[in-house]
Amino acid sequence: MNCELCHANLEAYRAGSLPHDMRIQVEEHLKTCTNCAEVLSLLNTAERVIQEEKEQVSNPFLSTRIMAAIEAAEANIPQNSPVFSRILKPVVITITLAAAIFMGIMIGNSSGSANNSSAIPLELALINDVDLEAVNLLSTE
């Protein structure tokens, strides 16, 4: 067996999925070839490092600290009394709306209406606009 064929079959050899005769050939090649044995050793080391990284354990007190912070934050939140939320809140809103409507009516009535304005002089009412000459005829340019 050559090194290329051995390298191609090393993963299957490590997984144990090679046929029996191929496995024997790879084992014989690994006994005689130090380069391939070193590659196998590096693959095993890399697998071990990856497994150690996957097995990292979190701090067991982390969840305790997080839950304590959440409980402390909840304790600092003031609780609204049910009387205010059920009764006083709608009353305050209703009074505010009534005051806004009342103010609007008062402002609208404070400006004088058109009916109460002073009467137009009789001379202005009797002017016939049709008989007036056009302004452009009077201009001399």
Does residue 99 surpass a pLDDT of 90?
Answer: yes
Q: What is the rounded distance in angstroms from the CA atom of residue 66 to the CA atom of residue 59?
A: 12
Q: Which residue has the higher pLDDT, 76 or 73?
A: 73
pLDDT of residue 109: 82
The confidence score (pLDDT) of residue 53 equals 78
The larger pLDDT score, comparing residue 115 to residue 53, is at 53
Residue 12: pLDDT over 70: yes
Q: Angle formed by the axes of helices 34-54 and 3-15, to 10°?
A: 30
Q: Is the pLDDT of residue 113 over 70?
A: no
Which two three-digit tokens encode residue 117?
């304005």
Mean pLDDT of 98-123: 76
CA distances from 132 to 76, 128, 129, 135, 139 (A): 83, 7, 5, 9, 14
- How confident is the prediction for the chain on average, in pLDDT? 79
Averaged pLDDT for residues 17-22: 88
